[in-house]
Amino acid sequence: MSDINKVVLAYSGGLDTSVIVRWLQDTYKCEVVTFTADIGQGEEVEPARAKAKALGVQEIYIDDLREEYVRDFVYPMFRANAIYEGEYLLGTSIARPLIAKRLIEIANETGADAISHGATGKGNDQVRFELGAYSLKPGIKVIAPWREWDLTSRETLMAYCAERNIPVDFAGKKKKSPYSMDANLLHISYEGGNLEDPYWEPEEDMWRWSVSPEAAPDTPTYIEIGYQNGDPVTLNGEALSPATMLATLNKLGGDNGIGRLDLVENRYVGMKSRGCYETPGGTIMLRAHRAIESITLDREAAHLKDELMPRYAKLIYNGYWFSPERRMLQAAIDESQAFVNGVVRLKLYKGNVVVVGRKSDNSLFDEAIATFEDDAGAYNQKDAEGFIKLNALRLRIAANKGRSQLS
d(CA 86, CA 250): 21
What is the amino acid identity at position 12? Answer: S
> What percent of the chain shows pLDDT beyond 70?
97
Q: What pLDDT shows up at residue 406?
A: 86
In a domain, 1, yes or no: no
Residue 172 has pLDDT above 80, yes or no: no
Phi, psi for residue 370 in degrees, rounded to 5:
-80, -15
Give the H or E element holding residue 395.
helix 383-400
**8 Å CB contact between 83 and 277:** no
In a domain, 78, yes or no: no
Catalytic pick from 49, 63, 180, 375?
180
Q: What pLDDT shows up at residue 152?
A: 85
Angstrom distances, CA of residue 399 to CA of 52, 57, 242, 337, 404: 76, 77, 56, 42, 4
Over residues 131-140, the mean pLDDT reads: 98
Q: What is the pLDDT of residues 282-310, one digit of tens each?
A: 999 999 999 999 999 999 999 999 999 99
In a domain, 209, yes or no: yes
Residue 380 has pLDDT above 80, yes or no: yes
Q: Structurally, how many domains does the chain consist of? A: 3
> Within this chain, do residues 32 and 109 fall inside the same structural domain, yes or no?
yes
> Within this chain, do residues 63 and 196 fall inside the same structural domain, yes or no?
no
Q: How confident is the model at residue 176 (pLDDT cuts 50, 70, 90)?
A: low
Annotation: binding site for ATP: 10-18, 37, 118
State yes or no: is 125 an active-site residue. yes
Over residues 139-159, the mean pLDDT reads: 92
State yes or no: is 205 an active-site residue. no
Residue 319 has pLDDT above 60, yes or no: yes
Catalytic pick from 66, 79, 96, 274?
96
Catalytic pick from 38, 125, 135, 336?
125
Phi, psi for residue 179 in degrees, rounded to 5:
-105, 155
CATH number of domain containing 279: 3.90.1260.10
Q: What pLDDT shows up at residue 167?
A: 79
**8 Å CB contact between 223 and 239:** no
> Within this chain, do residues 256 and 390 fall inside the same structural domain, yes or no?
no
Per-residue DSSP letter, 323: S
Q: Residue 384, class by beta-carbon neighbours within 10 Å (0-12 exposed, 13-18 middle, 19+ buried)?
A: exposed
Give 243's contacts (C-beta < 8 A, 6+ positions apart). Answer: 40, 66, 67, 69, 70, 71, 185
> What percent of the chain shows pLDDT beyond 90?
89
> Within this chain, do residues 239 and 192 fall inside the same structural domain, yes or no?
yes
Residue 171 has pLDDT above 60, yes or no: no
> Within this chain, do residues 28 and 64 fall inside the same structural domain, yes or no?
yes
Q: How confident is the model at residue 175 (pLDDT cuts 50, 70, 90)?
A: low
State yes or no: is 180 an active-site residue. yes
Q: What pLDDT shows up at residue 177?
A: 77
Annotation: binding site: 10-18, 37, 88, 93, 118, 120, 124-125, 128, 180, 189, 265, 277
In a domain, 312, yes or no: no
In a domain, 407, yes or no: no
Annotation: binding site for L-aspartate: 120, 124-125
Q: What pLDDT shows up at residue 337?
A: 98
Over residues 35-56, the mean pLDDT reads: 93
In a domain, 194, yes or no: yes
> Within this chain, do residues 249 and 373 fall inside the same structural domain, yes or no?
no
Say what the alpha-carbon torsion angle 254, 276, 177, 269 is, to the nearest 10 degrees.
-140
Q: What pLDDT shows up at residue 44?
A: 84
Over residues 254-278, the mean pLDDT reads: 97
In a domain, 103, yes or no: yes
> Within this chain, do residues 146 and 222 fall inside the same structural domain, yes or no?
no
Task: Please give the residue range of the domain that contains residue 287.
Answer: 181-297+339-359
Q: Residue 72, class by beta-carbon neighbours within 10 Å (0-12 exposed, 13-18 middle, 19+ buried)?
A: middle
Q: Residue 234, class by beta-carbon neighbours within 10 Å (0-12 exposed, 13-18 middle, 19+ buried)?
A: middle
pTM over 0.85: yes
Of the candidates 174, 202, 219, which is a domain's last residue?
174
d(CA 306, CA 286): 13
Q: What is the pLDDT of residues 81-93, one digit of tens each?
A: 999 999 999 999 9
> Within this chain, do residues 187 and 290 fall inside the same structural domain, yes or no?
yes
State yes or no: is 210 an active-site residue. no
* Mean pLDDT (the chain, rounded): 95
